[in-house]
Amino acid sequence: MLIGLFNAVRAAGVPVSLRELLDLHGALKAHVAFADQEDFYELTRLIWVKDERHYDRFDQAFGAWWQGVASQPLTPEAVIPEDWLRRDFMRQLSDEEKAAIEKLGGLDALMEAFRQRLAEQKERHAGGNKWIGTGGSSPFGSGGFHPEGIRVGQGGNRSAVKVWDKRQFRGLADDAELGVRNLQMALRRLRRFARHGAQEEFDLGGTIDATARDAGLLNVKMRPERRNAIKVLLLLDIGGSMDDHVNACEQLFTAARGEFKRLTHYYFHNCVYERLWQGDGGTYSNSISTMEVLRTHPPDTRLIFVGDAAMAPYEITHPGGSVEHNNPEPGGIWLQRLAAKFPRLAWLNPMPQDSWNYTVSNRLITEILGPRMFELTPKGIELAMRELVR
């Protein structure tokens, strides 16, 4: 009987294996949950789902399976299926509430307004008095104060509307193929160990040496632990065309920060000019001169650009070509300076490789930096890291 649910959950993209299916059978046999649908839901989630980002997909699959219908396609159109609005509401409403609905022009009008507002609204919302969400005074939402309102989901823990319909984990869902973990695994290649810092590791060879010299009297030697001594300078493009790739860049950044102890990062807009930004504010006060960056980083620093390399060719070739300010020197000169100072560099591009040739700027950059552009995928990063340690 659980095979159906198992397949539905797997089809929804939650990685659940045979082992967990057997575990659930074991748990049911041990009567951890018995004849209580909410307990069963929570138990299944506990055993099958290992990441809060998958909770939302699990909730949808479970809801669909429970109703005995085929799984809804997990597209934005399906986020609030019409039937669970209608059926559950009419059944639950008291006579007073039904009268209150009449006040707003009947259920159909209310539903229509709800659907309109849902279409306008792009994200989860709480508080406030217009959007659909929780804790506000809009007629639509949950836990609010509007007497004639529609309640989506339910507050409280044990109530008639199913918990999985609350979909409270939607904000945690994350469909990116790049996981932070596989990025980190790819970045691991860029390790060069050196010993420095506090002496905290036992040095066997040194101890034997010193002990022999002391005529057999033990003379313990310690040495610093091996650490990753690689220095990384990360330059990230946050120009307008990069907005689509924010997620991928954030993941790369999270992974890199965990992996490299000595990582500095700056932002640029479209192309590198005489100043780089420390935050994403784009104001002069939080910027730093590119010359200073060139001066303060040793030449064995690994330089990684992240950007889609899509810009107007003038931004690279002409003084004053920047879209934001009047730059005295063209971006290409700055790229050359960086490439001359840091011979080990790579460019990671979030666009798929076959689209690179369509932009002129992309070709210009490849001319300046050499064929050192890689896709921002675990595979591409691995190639880039190989290039950087060479």
Partner 1 sequence: MTFQSTDTYVATADLSLAVNAAITLQRPLLIKGEPGTGKTLLAEELARSLQTRLITWHIKSTTKAQQGLYEYDAVSRLRDSQLGVEGVNDVRNYLRKGKLWEAFESGERVVLLIDEIDKADIEFPNDLLQELDRMEFYVYETDETIRARHRPIIVITSNNEKELPDAFLRRCFFHYIVFPDAATLEKIIAVHYPNIEKALVDEALAMFFQLRDVPNIKKKPSTSELIDWLKLLLADRIPASALRERDPGKAIPPLYGALIKNEQDVQLLERLAFMHRRQSR
Q: Does 184 bind partner 1 (CB under 8 A)?
A: yes
198 in Cβ contact with 181 (< 8 Å) = no
Report the site for partner 1 in 95-134 (rule: CB under 8 A). 126-127
27 vs 368, beta carbon nearer partner 1: 27
Binder of partner 1 out of 9, 12, 43, 61 (CB under 8 A) = 43
* Alpha-carbon span 278 to 293, nearest angstrom: 11
- The size of the chain, in residues, is 390
Q: Which two tokens stand for residue 20?
A: 């967990």
Three-state DSSP class for residue 236:
strand
Q: Which of residues 55-74 bind partner 1 (CB under 8 A)?
A: 55
Check binding of 179 to partner 1 (CB under 8 A).
yes
Mapped onto helix, strand or coil, the DSSP state of residue 298 is coil
Query: In this structure, which amino acid lies at residue 160?
Result: A
Going by C-alpha positions, the residue among 271, 369, 368 that lies closest to residue 320 is: 271
Q: Is 39 in the site for partner 1 (CB under 8 A)?
A: yes
Min dist CB 168 to partner 1, Å, is: 7
Nearer CB in complex with partner 1: 26/320: 26
CA distance 236 to 306: 5
Exposed e or buried b per residue across 267-291, where buried means at least 16 C-beta atoms within 10 angstroms of its C-beta: bbbbbbbbbbbeeeeeeeeebeebe
Could you tell me which stretch among 45-53, 77-85, 93-101, 365-373 binds partner 1 (CB under 8 A)?
A: 45-53
What is the footprint of partner 1 within residues 206-235 (CB under 8 A)? Answer: 207, 216-218, 220, 225
We find the least distance from the C-beta atom of residue 22 to partner 1, in angstroms, to be: 11
Within 249-288, the residues that bind partner 1 by CB under 8 A are: 258
Query: Helix count (H) and strand count (E) of the chain?
Result: 15, 12
Size of the site for partner 1 (CB under 8 A): 44
Q: Which of 8, 21, 33, 271 is close enough to bind partner 1 by CB under 8 A? A: 33
Q: Helices (DSSP H) in 124-203: which residue ranges?
A: 180-187
Where does this chain bind partner 1 (CB under 8 A)? 15, 17, 19-20, 23, 26-27, 30, 32-33, 39, 42-43, 46-47, 49-52, 55, 126-127, 135, 143, 155-158, 168-169, 179-181, 184-185, 188, 202, 207, 216-218, 220, 225, 258
